[in-house]
Amino acid sequence: MAPTIKITYFDITGKAELLRLILSAGNMDFEDIRVKKEDWPALKPTAPFGQLPTMEYDGEIYAQTNAMAKFLAKKAGLAGNDDLEELKMDMFMEFMNDIFSKLMGVFAKSESDKDAAGKKLFEEELPAMLKTLETHLEKNGGKFLVGDTLSYVDIAYFDLLQNLTWEDHPFFPNLPHNELRLDILKDHPSLVEHMERVKEHPGVLSWLDKRPTGPK
């Protein structure tokens, strides 16, 4: 019998979108529960770490996005073929955390420092990190980041880069020098091709077509 899976998050893409995409790519049924902001305080005590997203799997509630993503990827056959591929995937997921830290670091700056930090982020730091990612992709043959088939790491970077270049993203337009954000992939054609390859996966494409929020 197939497990009962429920993903709970706010009505945005955010941290839960990777979980939704993995489940969709793996053709696994799940309930997509979207919490209204005003309802969250009452639900917060039920979350293992007092935060979203959470995953209910056969009646037990779990948390922490990367841990849940890796678990679901294994169930979906998207987590590699051996320990070394798994190690590489963990490596790329940690590198993604580094990218997120750079992005969130700008929001944390004082107003007087935010403009310069945003300019440095989009002109220097992110391009360098994307170049590193692109180099790894090309070294692996250009199609996938690890191995020779789609993995959850490919899906994770697709989600990141799609959101990063989404003009109507709910948060990123508040960063200074937002116009630079929208062109961040112009010098990274291999990453653009990789995004299109992931998007063409039937399960991914099906979710993009029906999801209530997010770029198509």
The verdict on 88 and 187 lying in the same domain is: yes
The pLDDT, as a whole number, for residue 35 is 97
Tell me which DSSP letter residue 126 carries: H
The answer to whether residue 87 sits within a structural domain is yes
The verdict on 46 and 95 lying in the same domain is: no
The answer to whether residue 53 sits within a structural domain is yes
The pLDDT, as a whole number, for residue 49 is 98
The pLDDT, as a whole number, for residue 183 is 93
The pLDDT, as a whole number, for residue 123 is 96
52 contacts 35 by C-beta, under 8 angstroms: yes
The verdict on 189 and 87 lying in the same domain is: yes
The verdict on 57 and 159 lying in the same domain is: no
- 3-class secondary-structure state, position 120: helix
Q: pLDDT (tens digit, 9 = 90+) per residue, 6-53?
A: 999 999 999 999 999 999 999 999 999 999 999 999 999 999 999 999
Which strand ranges, in their side-by-side order, compose the sheet holding 31-35?
31-35, 5-10, 54-57, 60-63
- 3-class secondary-structure state, position 35: strand
Please count the structural domains in the chain: 2
The verdict on 103 and 190 lying in the same domain is: yes
Domain boundary among 48, 76, 104: 76
Q: How would you classify residue 159: left for phi > 0, otherwise alpha for psi between -120 and 50, otherwise beta? A: alpha
Whole-prediction pTM value?
A: 0.96
The verdict on 54 and 142 lying in the same domain is: no
Contacts of 173 (CB under 8 A, 6+ apart): 167, 181
The pLDDT, as a whole number, for residue 178 is 86
How far CA 20 is from CA of 44, 51, 196, in Å, comes to 21, 17, 18
The answer to whether residue 214 sits within a structural domain is no
CATH number at residue 69: 3.40.30.10
The verdict on 125 and 174 lying in the same domain is: yes
Beta strands in 40-157 (DSSP E): 54-57, 60-63
The pLDDT, as a whole number, for residue 176 is 87
The verdict on 101 and 129 lying in the same domain is: yes
The pLDDT, as a whole number, for residue 215 is 85
The pLDDT, as a whole number, for residue 86 is 98
Between the two ends of the chain, the Cα-to-Cα distance in Å is 32
CATH number at residue 154: 1.20.1050.10
The verdict on 196 and 89 lying in the same domain is: yes
**Bridge partners (DSSP) listed for residue 7:** 32, 55
The answer to whether residue 215 sits within a structural domain is no
**Bridge partners (DSSP) listed for residue 10:** 35
Q: Which domain holds residue 156?
A: 83-200
- 3-class secondary-structure state, position 145: coil
The pLDDT, as a whole number, for residue 2 is 84
How far CA 17 is from CA of 83, 138, 147, 158, 171, in Å, comes to 26, 26, 23, 11, 15
Size of the chain, expressed as the number of residues it contains = 216
The residue written with tokens 């099906």 in the block is: 206
The stretches in the chain having pLDDT less than 50 are: none
CB atoms inside a 10 Å sphere around CB 81: 13
The answer to whether residue 144 sits within a structural domain is yes
The verdict on 69 and 116 lying in the same domain is: no
Give the side-chain half-sphere CA count within 13 A for 106.
24
